[in-house]
Amino acid sequence: MTDLVTFGETMLRLSPPQGHRLETTDDLDLRIGGAESNVAAAVSRLGFDSAWLSKLPDSPLGRRVTVELQSHGVDTPVAWSDDDATRMGTYYIEHGGAPRGTNVIYDRADAAITTVSADELPTERIRESEMFYTSGITPALSEAAAKATATLLETANDAGTTTVFDLNYRSKLWTPEEAAVGYRALFDAVDVLVAAERDTREVLGRDGTPEDLVSGLADDYDFETVILTRGDEGALALHDGETYDQPVYEADTVDAVGTGDAFVGGFLAARLDGENVATGLEYAAATAALKRTIDGDIAVVTPEEVDAVVGEDGAGISR
Amino acid sequence: MTDLVTFGETMLRLSPPQGHRLETTDDLDLRIGGAESNVAAAVSRLGFDSAWLSKLPDSPLGRRVTVELQSHGVDTPVAWSDDDATRMGTYYIEHGGAPRGTNVIYDRADAAITTVSADELPTERIRESEMFYTSGITPALSEAAAKATATLLETANDAGTTTVFDLNYRSKLWTPEEAAVGYRALFDAVDVLVAAERDTREVLGRDGTPEDLVSGLADDYDFETVILTRGDEGALALHDGETYDQPVYEADTVDAVGTGDAFVGGFLAARLDGENVATGLEYAAATAALKRTIDGDIAVVTPEEVDAVVGEDGAGISR
Amino acid sequence: MTDLVTFGETMLRLSPPQGHRLETTDDLDLRIGGAESNVAAAVSRLGFDSAWLSKLPDSPLGRRVTVELQSHGVDTPVAWSDDDATRMGTYYIEHGGAPRGTNVIYDRADAAITTVSADELPTERIRESEMFYTSGITPALSEAAAKATATLLETANDAGTTTVFDLNYRSKLWTPEEAAVGYRALFDAVDVLVAAERDTREVLGRDGTPEDLVSGLADDYDFETVILTRGDEGALALHDGETYDQPVYEADTVDAVGTGDAFVGGFLAARLDGENVATGLEYAAATAALKRTIDGDIAVVTPEEVDAVVGEDGAGISR
Amino acid sequence: MTDLVTFGETMLRLSPPQGHRLETTDDLDLRIGGAESNVAAAVSRLGFDSAWLSKLPDSPLGRRVTVELQSHGVDTPVAWSDDDATRMGTYYIEHGGAPRGTNVIYDRADAAITTVSADELPTERIRESEMFYTSGITPALSEAAAKATATLLETANDAGTTTVFDLNYRSKLWTPEEAAVGYRALFDAVDVLVAAERDTREVLGRDGTPEDLVSGLADDYDFETVILTRGDEGALALHDGETYDQPVYEADTVDAVGTGDAFVGGFLAARLDGENVATGLEYAAATAALKRTIDGDIAVVTPEEVDAVVGEDGAGISR
Amino acid sequence: MTDLVTFGETMLRLSPPQGHRLETTDDLDLRIGGAESNVAAAVSRLGFDSAWLSKLPDSPLGRRVTVELQSHGVDTPVAWSDDDATRMGTYYIEHGGAPRGTNVIYDRADAAITTVSADELPTERIRESEMFYTSGITPALSEAAAKATATLLETANDAGTTTVFDLNYRSKLWTPEEAAVGYRALFDAVDVLVAAERDTREVLGRDGTPEDLVSGLADDYDFETVILTRGDEGALALHDGETYDQPVYEADTVDAVGTGDAFVGGFLAARLDGENVATGLEYAAATAALKRTIDGDIAVVTPEEVDAVVGEDGAGISR
Amino acid sequence: MTDLVTFGETMLRLSPPQGHRLETTDDLDLRIGGAESNVAAAVSRLGFDSAWLSKLPDSPLGRRVTVELQSHGVDTPVAWSDDDATRMGTYYIEHGGAPRGTNVIYDRADAAITTVSADELPTERIRESEMFYTSGITPALSEAAAKATATLLETANDAGTTTVFDLNYRSKLWTPEEAAVGYRALFDAVDVLVAAERDTREVLGRDGTPEDLVSGLADDYDFETVILTRGDEGALALHDGETYDQPVYEADTVDAVGTGDAFVGGFLAARLDGENVATGLEYAAATAALKRTIDGDIAVVTPEEVDAVVGEDGAGISR
């Protein structure tokens, strides 16, 4: 039995060295990144069996993704596309500090996953899994992907698999209005909602204090757990009528991309381990902080390292 | 006045280090490549004014192309696309010696140039230019690109600009039958034809000795000059009823991609310089041999270096 | 069920860039290498389930090995050592062409595997597997490793799993005399023997023509198959009374280390696929030739690439 | 017509990787740098036609400079020197944080530009340009360079081209006393003066508040605009009797070299665009802050990025 | 005559690039590091003759150490081991900011130095030297190394050579109790003790204020000088009944490893130069701060740079 | 006592990666190179004491040279120049295979050594040395350098130190006529002459067979030994009336620069070791062949490696 199955798109991630620009660089670092595979990799590294479902072109570029995910122990029973009209989603990222900021260029149209159907995926893996995770990026990719997302969430729900959904609003994929409709169509099948405060306000159109936001969401959609992520201000969760406030751990950031997914991965791993929500949030925040010190989207961490951060003795040199 | 105007697609070229594979690499070299910009760059580096026409996405990735071409002195009055449905054509190349060979993965669908129209391009540049060059890749990209290719060739023809066309058959873009139809629709407007022997046989369906091939083509389509490129066996040209046989110069190959374009660039530069066809072929072969020693698609050479190869004293250390 | 289980040591492999020396380099490439994991990786990449058994220190260095093997789809149910007196075997390699040659410095004493016992390994995996492979390096590592090798070979033998053994003589681990005794103690349990011609002569003390060598070995130890590897002269096999001569495919060598293991991997994959010995040798030689074009110990290839070499159309650029 | 012409020396810039020292490094990054080409590149990138005048050795090292400047769209009608007694100016830079600081070693004696004469340069380009910029480095290079600087400034002045001069005092080229004499000889032909506060005090020997400095300079030399650059304290400008105070934008600095030139480039681009001095200073400060996040001397920026900083929404990730 | 002789182990130091992890990296930086050679290199670079005694395997890996130390002017009359059972000590270091911290993996068992005997070393060099330095790491390596340490300290003491000892407690080599016994056995022969505050408390079991610690140590063991290093809080020294408080100089840290050794090196160089303890501490702190800006264990600095930091004008760009 | 003292210029050597060009590269490898230091380094690495005399700017660039030479055990009692008008000689090298060849750009004017005087150098080191080596590059650098060369050769001669001189004609430093005069002025003080066949013909204006050349030179100038180096055809020596013919060892060339100096270094080391001329030439050729496999000017080899080549068992992998 798998502990966690996730479903979504993973892209090639291409970035110039620090301080260099896409316009002029001769060198690109090649990594992979996708919310759902990032979560699967974090959970696998933290000691649980995870699998990632997706659709990839049957090419070295597609295999680049499975090769890296397998290296972290993630099982990758994906659908392989031979359709030449589909391709490998790609994104370019240029890291820049203030005031330049980080610039992302998506090149993901016609990715193989836009043609995915639930039929091509081993849905029994979801039924036999303890948890299922996907994010709001997936239904935004195409009508087919939206339909598959709905089917897989319902499959999980019917089988008693705990479903986890992160809004992950992407303005380059759909408008807030479209996203709100898309999200609401899925909420019935969702047990645990993860939502950035900004998306909650700007996409779901909710307002009030953070506490208002989590209780409003929980009330309206009957979520088992709601986690509001608030950037530097940490996270606020509501579960079983109780709220939990989790600050961030300070981190020397090398690469901020994937921080949110590491947070979710840390939370789910703790929950799979039987920890309560409060402890889950600690592990989430610790995994997220560790991720920031590491190049690439994926939280290349160990359970011991997360424990050390939670136990607050991570830094310094041991010799 | 410009000496040479070219029109075509230029892609980003991504390749892992020697001996590394796309499936497992963490590093990619980023270069640019496209037959028509390769020719324009070679001609500019060899001392003549050249311009390259195309359509690019208005993004850092699109500008990556113009930045590099400008560095070689090529003028780049391209059309910039704001259409989010178009993108930057990209190709991945994995260099491998025998028996692995070199593997190319094209990711060029929906490139901005597939939506190009002659109207968006500064066609007066072609009318005022001495030569115009494009290749058989361009009409294969899309119906719109095919139409623009025809229009630009006719524009050149009408203005008395010498037109140069390289078959450059690409099996991943169209079938031999489609290509043959596409080529023939353009031949009327072509003065100088460059054709790989293999394409001449397999796409144009011609046979006989190399001499038969060049004379047959010249007779059937009334080309001013026909150049048959024959790989390691050199090139055979027919011009004004005379044939010219040009062997290759030996080269220690670092990167073979772009050799054919360097050949054309060397030939056109010599012709722009008033040299006859025989000398033009020598410069073509010398430029091609130099290109093979250089990383990337572009022949980063000087006229003095080409002279030295033609004069056969290129190698050794001068100190 | 697993198709192939292998057992042996895998080391970290550290090498300076081409033309640089260990004495003066500031940069090392880190790869992993070990005959048995190389074979497991090749077989996995060629489409079969493989697992690698070993013992590693429970540290980032130990995990470096499983991370890379998993990336190639190899299952790694290894024993993890917490014993601080054991360590990660390491080897340094300096590639040099003629007349410098390639220099290898082993630093493998007290590797975790020297303390391995069959009890700590999932021997049921061997019993349920179609083939089991180990090499003559493993019993040379320590008395414990020798004992475990014998136990695992016998386990395989008893279960009807085809056993494959490659002499792989290492002069830095034991003398020819010690090795001969060690090998002979295991031969009873071996079905398929792979032996370098030089080891056959210098360690096993046999002489005669290559044909004499294979028939002598087969007769004396009742091997089902004997494969004599002969460097540039290819390989000679004896199976069911028939001999098979397989020449090498020419290759532009980037990294020769691991060529022999790729040969074995290609052979076993073909045999797992139901191919006969003659075809198996072709696949072996093709996989070996491809390996030479690739950096690192592991044959990062695909079945299609091996097919292409066997079908003799591997080189050139397809576009 | 060109919008801006600049005149001055550009050097090769060689620097070891971060944390490495010239004494021990095996790797150098090669960039180019020079106040006047930095300004020309910034202005070109911000959307205006610019040209850079200079004298370079006719060698690959000299062309290294024009190749890079052309890549940013700068026109480079330079004089090429065949005189073997002249060379390419070079500087070595070792970036070090506190308390080590940044160390610069100039190797610029006998650079080709030290033999420059106004006659070898296309002075009509200056007469037809809207603005002309040079800095106090140029006259310090040699008597010939000083004479050419004076001639070009006067040429500009006579033609009604706005002249811009940045003191850019370099203690390794001349003493404060020599510099003061050199500057004053040129001030009559200068419309816009840019002066570091320190140079104003230590070289020009002025004192008082920053306001005193700008008004004193404007009064004494009848400058149209005076801009006093004050490091972290921003800039103070006087124009048409009004003073303008511009703070710096905070920046995560990757490479501080070229910040002042980016400031001037941003200011001149805004002025060429018809913006007033206040807005010009904002663009100056924004361009300077962006430059600090970018490796190399040149502000590889876009107008949109500068707009974003001025509009204060540059940071964060947009996706 | 040599100014300083040191004795101890130097290891190869292998580290992945910033933000990368040992588990997944393909690249390692190779440096060397060891307290005693770090001190010898710093003192040599600061203008004094130094020699480093040790025992190394007679291999390219052993020579990697002497090559680098010689480059800094350190004389390396080491004993070379041909014993295959001994090896080159190695350590892996993964730099990570908060909250990950820096992780060190030692792989130093059976290093050649563990078999060292005073007889194999040129002890006359110690007798003829002004100072002798070793640290608490050396006696912890093996019984033989402990015996050699004692012999060499006594040799120095007998010859009137000033002896300097740094506790340098390493928990991975021995327990606090073992270390305390080991240290005390050597204290009689020590003139100058350097001790981290934490080691003083946790290993030597002392308590009280920092002032109590230094005076207690000086009283109990009759040290000529005691220096207590206190991390960010600087250092406190006691000499001739007087205490000296030295704060740290702020530093932009690139690599913190070796900071303590640079501190000792700066102190000893100043003392060799005839400076008093107060000035010695300033040079110690300045050398340590400079070290932090430099990659690797060794303080690649010049006397002028240390002077500049002490004179507080190190930062900024001089041009 | 030193075994060998050499005197000459060493330059910084800057080169782009293979296949890259100076015009477009962003990366340079930094090495050092100079005939006389190359010889000193080879001799030191082969087991003899060597020292290199020269004059360098007192800067990190000057120290870059001594740091690297010291790393190979070469003593560097050089004169340090504080004269800002002198600089560090530099050369740029672009490796290119056929037909491009290798291009060298010297930037050595006003190097510190051009102001050298014998007075500033520790000439007693020459008097106490067994051999003294310099090459025809040194007197070509400046009048001062020529005078110092003569003085040092005479000093050696007077003291009975064997003097070795390699013509090393450099056409960019002087004409053949000037060189011939310069050489002849020194020949009286030379015991062992090394001369490239081409220089012998084109500069010294001699003709005939190689045998004629060596005997003619020996007769005319009374050299003890004459070695004619003949590129791929090996070397021919005359000593004591006997001629010795030495072919080259085949080598996979990574970097050919410094081959001739490695040849001389190997020869001198063998002679210092008491070997006869025939054996000396074997060691010379072996050291030269090894050098070709190694990046940089310097033969980073060991005596064992040279022995292995002479004994013809260098290639292959030993494990």
Whose tokens are 């106090």? That residue is D136
Q: Using the predicted structure, report yes or no on whether residue D106 has a pLDDT greater than 50.
A: yes
A26, A59, A107 member nearest B29 (Cβ): A26
Whose tokens are 């070693």? That residue is D105
User: pLDDT value at position A240?
Assistant: 95
Classify residue D150: in a domain, yes or no: yes
Interface contact flag, F26 D31, Cβ < 8 Å: yes
Cα–Cα distance for residue pair B40/B20, rounded to 1 Å? 31
Interface contact flag, A109 B110, Cβ < 8 Å: yes
Q: Using the predicted structure, report yes or no on whether residue F79 has a pLDDT greater than 50.
A: yes
Interface contact flag, B99 C293, Cβ < 8 Å: yes
Q: Using the predicted structure, report yes or no on whether residue F66 has a pLDDT greater than 50.
A: yes
Average predicted confidence (pLDDT) for chain E: 96
The string of pLDDT tens digits covering residues C202-233 is 999 999 999 999 999 999 999 999 999 999 99
User: pLDDT value at position C319?
Assistant: 56
Domain total of chain B = 1
What average pLDDT does range A164-179 have in this prediction? 97
Average predicted confidence (pLDDT) for chain A: 96
Which chain B residues are within 8 Å of D68, Cβ to Cβ? 71
User: Considering only alpha carbons, which residue of chain F is nearest residue B255?
Assistant: F19
What average pLDDT does range A235-248 have in this prediction? 97
Q: Which one of the listed residues F191, F261, F273, F295 is annotated catalytic?
A: F261
Neighbours of B114 (CB within 10 A): 19
User: pLDDT value at position F319?
Assistant: 54
Query: Does E73 lie at the interface with F, CB-CB under 8 angstroms?
Result: yes
Q: Which one of the listed residues A75, A199, A261, A297 is annotated catalytic?
A: A261
Test the F interface: residue of E44, E45, E61, E71 with most F CBs within 10 Å:
E71
Classify residue B97: in a domain, yes or no: no
Classify residue A191: in a domain, yes or no: yes
Name the E residues in 34-63 with CB < 8 Å from any C CB: 59-61, 63
Interface contact flag, C70 A68, Cβ < 8 Å: no
CA distance F292 to chain C (A): 9
Q: Using the predicted structure, report yes or no on whether residue C315 has a pLDDT greater than 70.
A: no
Percent of chain D with pLDDT over 90: 97
Residues paired with residue E166 on neighbouring β-strands, in sequence order: E135, E194
Interface contact flag, A99 D286, Cβ < 8 Å: yes
Which chain C residues are within 8 Å of B256, Cβ to Cβ? 317
Classify residue C7: in a domain, yes or no: no
Band of pLDDT at residue A315, cut at 50, 70 and 90:
very low
Which chain E residues are within 8 Å of F71, Cβ to Cβ? 67-68, 70-71
Classify residue A84: in a domain, yes or no: no
The string of pLDDT tens digits covering residues A175-188 is 999 999 999 999 99
* Cβ–Cβ under 8 Å, residues C106 and C23: no
* Cβ–Cβ under 8 Å, residues E296 and E69: no
Output phi, psi for C296, to 5 deg.
100, 170
The string of pLDDT tens digits covering residues E133-152 is 999 999 999 999 999 999 99
Cα–Cα distance for residue pair E183/E170, rounded to 1 Å? 12
What average pLDDT does range D14-41 have in this prediction? 97
Which chain B residues are within 8 Å of F106, Cβ to Cβ? 319
Burial of B58 (0-12, 13-18, 19+ CB in 10 A): middle
Residues paired with residue E81 on neighbouring β-strands, in sequence order: E57
Question: Which helix or strand (DSSP H or E) is residue C177 part of?
Answer: helix C176-187
Classify residue A315: in a domain, yes or no: no
DSSP F205-264: ---S-HHHHHHHHHHHH--SEEEEE-GGG-EEEEETTEEEEEPPPP---S--TTHHHHHH
Interface contact flag, C250 B98, Cβ < 8 Å: yes
Structural domain of A174: 34-76+119-310
Question: Beta strand pairing status for F4-7 and F131-135?
Answer: parallel
Interface contact flag, E72 F67, Cβ < 8 Å: yes
User: Considering only alpha carbons, which residue of chain E is nearest residue A253?
Assistant: E97
pTM over 0.80: yes
Helices B35-45, B259-272: crossing angle, 10 deg rounding: 40
User: pLDDT value at position B312?
Assistant: 73
Which chain E residues are within 8 Å of C85, Cβ to Cβ? 109
Q: Using the predicted structure, report yes or no on whether residue F318 has a pLDDT greater than 70.
A: no
E291: Cα separation from own chain's centroid: 13
Q: Using the predicted structure, report yes or no on whether residue E312 has a pLDDT greater than 60.
A: yes
Residues paired with residue D166 on neighbouring β-strands, in sequence order: D135, D194
Which chain B residues are within 8 Å of A92, Cβ to Cβ? 60-61
Q: Could you say which DSSP state residue F120 is in?
A: G
Query: Does C256 lie at the interface with F, CB-CB under 8 angstroms?
Result: yes
Query: Does B295 lie at the interface with A, CB-CB under 8 angstroms?
Result: no
Interface contact flag, C294 B19, Cβ < 8 Å: yes
Test the E interface: residue of F44, F68, F71 with most E CBs within 10 Å:
F71
Which chain B residues are within 8 Å of D70, Cβ to Cβ? 70-73
Test the C interface: residue of A66, A70, A319 with most C CBs within 10 Å:
A70
User: Considering only alpha carbons, which residue of chain F is nearest residue E77?
Assistant: F73
User: Considering only alpha carbons, which residue of chain F is nearest residue D27?
Assistant: F29
Percent of chain F with pLDDT over 70: 98
Query: Does F98 lie at the interface with C, CB-CB under 8 angstroms?
Result: no
Cα–Cα distance for residue pair A173/A175, rounded to 1 Å? 7
What ipTM is given for this predicted complex?
Answer: 0.94
The string of pLDDT tens digits covering residues A2-15 is 999 999 999 999 99
User: Considering only alpha carbons, which residue of chain B is nearest residue A22?
Assistant: B60
Neighbours of A82 (CB within 10 A): 9
The string of pLDDT tens digits covering residues B88-101 is 999 999 999 999 99
Test the B interface: residue of A14, A20, A76 with most B CBs within 10 Å:
A14
User: pLDDT value at position B319?
Assistant: 56
Interface contact flag, F92 D60, Cβ < 8 Å: yes
User: pLDDT value at position E195?
Assistant: 98
Q: Using the predicted structure, report yes or no on whether residue F316 has a pLDDT greater than 60.
A: no
Chains that touch A (3 or more CB pairs under 8 A): B, C, D, E
Average predicted confidence (pLDDT) for chain F: 96
Residue E13: both structure tokens together: 């130091």
CATH of residue C213's domain is 3.40.1190.20
User: pLDDT value at position D319?
Assistant: 54
Interface contact flag, F64 D90, Cβ < 8 Å: no
Query: Does D25 lie at the interface with E, CB-CB under 8 angstroms?
Result: no
Query: Does B29 lie at the interface with F, CB-CB under 8 angstroms?
Result: no
Classify residue E81: in a domain, yes or no: no
The string of pLDDT tens digits covering residues C45-90 is 999 999 999 999 999 999 999 999 999 999 999 999 999 889 999 9
Q: Using the predicted structure, report yes or no on whether residue F235 has a pLDDT greater than 50.
A: yes
A17, A19, A99 member nearest D314 (Cβ): A99
CA distance B60 to chain A (A): 5
* Cβ–Cβ under 8 Å, residues B284 and B266: yes
Query: Does A284 lie at the interface with E, CB-CB under 8 angstroms?
Result: no
CA distance C285 to chain B (A): 11
Q: Using the predicted structure, report yes or no on whether residue F314 has a pLDDT greater than 50.
A: no
Question: Which helix or strand (DSSP H or E) is residue F100 part of?
Answer: none
What average pLDDT does range E169-188 have in this prediction? 97
Q: Using the predicted structure, report yes or no on whether residue A314 has a pLDDT greater than 50.
A: no
Q: Which residues of chain B have pLDDT under 70?
A: 313-319
Whose tokens are 């090896």? That residue is E87
Residues of B with active-site annotation: 261
What average pLDDT does range D226-240 have in this prediction? 97
Query: Does F96 lie at the interface with B, CB-CB under 8 angstroms?
Result: yes
Q: Which residue has the higher pLDDT, A317 or E239?
A: E239
Query: Does C85 lie at the interface with B, CB-CB under 8 angstroms?
Result: no
Interface contact flag, C100 F316, Cβ < 8 Å: no
Which chain B residues are within 8 Å of A85, Cβ to Cβ? 109
Q: Using the predicted structure, report yes or no on whether residue E233 has a pLDDT greater than 80.
A: yes
Classify residue F67: in a domain, yes or no: yes
Interface contact flag, A70 C68, Cβ < 8 Å: no
What average pLDDT does range E218-242 have in this prediction? 97
Average predicted confidence (pLDDT) for chain D: 96
The string of pLDDT tens digits covering residues C260-302 is 999 999 999 999 999 999 999 999 999 999 999 999 999 999 9
Amino acid at A40: A
User: pLDDT value at position B139?
Assistant: 98
Bin C226: left if φ > 0, else alpha if -120 < ψ < 50, else beta: beta
What average pLDDT does range E47-65 have in this prediction? 98
Helix (H, G, I), strand (E, B) or coil at A4: strand
User: pLDDT value at position F312?
Assistant: 74
What is the per-residue burial (b if ≥16 Cβ within 10 Å, else e) of F185-214?
ebbebbbbbbbbbebbeebbebeeebeebb
**Dihedral over alpha carbons C66, C71, C72, C75 (to 10 degrees):** 50
Q: Could you say which DSSP state residue D57 is in?
A: E
Of F187, F191, F224, nearest in space to F206 by CA: F187
Neighbours of F308 (CB within 10 A): 19
Burial of F121 (0-12, 13-18, 19+ CB in 10 A): buried
Which chain E residues are within 8 Å of C26, Cβ to Cβ? 29-31
Of E234, E209, E235, E204, nearest in space to E221 by CA: E204
